[in-house]
Structure 1
Amino acid sequence: MSLDEAYLEYWTEHFEKRVHLSEYERTVVCRKTDGCSKTLCNCDLNLKLKPLLLQHELSKHNSSLSSDTAGETDHSEKLSTTCLLCGRPYPVYDLVTFGMSPDDSVNEMRAKIEQKTGLTASAGIAPNTMLAKVCSDKNKPNGQYRILPDRDTVMEFITDLPTRKISGIGKVSETMLNALGVYTCKDLYEQRAFLYHLYSPISFNYFMRICLGIGSTFVER
């Protein structure tokens, strides 16, 4: 939708594949060092370090299986602490394995964005794009918020939501709606008689969709 914003249809194909992903495929190498460093490696750790970590763990595992004698020396190779690409030491990092739920999946996506670009991201998880956009602002910065896809939850969320939080309602529209006593999405429904006569059919239908929590579920490429 813009340089730093996108909508994703996330529920079908992704989760059909996700249930078959191994722990390794759901694991992200997360550096603890904030920002870029002139003394530490700034390469993509998941591209270069993650395969080495897997190889190292397999080496240790195979070595332990072949150790029949008590006290036998472990001959597994030690993992290098220096990046083979830039020659600088690796930063302090954690291996984070994400689960199968929608929240875990979005957390993984945000973690990968941060590790790849150095930028944090916020996300909203909701039944449609309108609500997802609102949710993405809920726990900024570097957070996420989810609305479960059922009517009661959606209506509870939307009832006291200020109209200004809805994408497409700017300062001018907010001022005009406030003059009619409309401050929240619930007010849109309660003042629908005024809105019907004062606004165009397109705007009126848009307001009614907002107060019912209805938004697009189709993402155009």
Structure 2
Amino acid sequence: MNTDREVQLQARLDAADKRMQALLHGISHDLRAPLRAIDGFATRLSRQLQPGADVAAIETLARITATNTRMCVLVDGLLELARVGSVELRPMQADVSMLADWCAAELQDADPGREASIEVQQGLEVIGDERLLKTLLTQLLRNAWRFSASRPRVEIDVTGARTEDGLDLVVRDRGIGFDMAYAARMLEPFQRLHGSDDGAGDGIGLAIADAIVARHGGTIRAESTPGEGASFHIRLQDLPNSGAMR
């Protein structure tokens, strides 16, 4: 039974978490306005450039546009990270295999010229929040896809097995891999183990994945050998299937 001190401490922790979520959302929201303005100015300048304009000016404008786009992606990532930590959970029997197939199809539709094989083991299920599980698989498969950019063919496997009270899931790729010395920090926001030429993303995707796994009472760890691909091992606990929960 909780003591009064424990109840007070939990209330303070809950209040601090709400303040942090509000701060993150506010920062992300307030950043959108100047980014939209920058995009508008860049578009206007692009239309005003005459054929045969100075090459340096064209290249500078392209860098401005690309940098602004990257900042928009980062802001979206911050909003998603904040949402994952505060959204009300809605437990249900989730078909993880179907969600993985869905994510795989989205990746292939977005890059139809890329030769790829994404094999998903069928029959994988867990009681969890289907929306968050879809986001989890999107982030993991997108990460595998990106770090296979230098390979002639993308190869990703999604396998798993039911446990007594949840699901063990493995997402394995045959991309460029990473040094295990950096494994502990790669789930932190804004951490990138490779440069953009190697497929590095916004540095938030794996942090979002980690937050979703934590909300399902689970763990996530990565294993890799440089040059031989990587595997992410996820343990998900069944959520109490009794409706919405915080």
Greater Cα radius of gyration, structure 1 or 2: 1
Q: What interval of TM-score do these two structures reach, taking the shorter chain for normalisation?
A: under 0.3
More helix by share: 2
More strand by share: 2
TM-score relative to the length of structure 1:
0.26
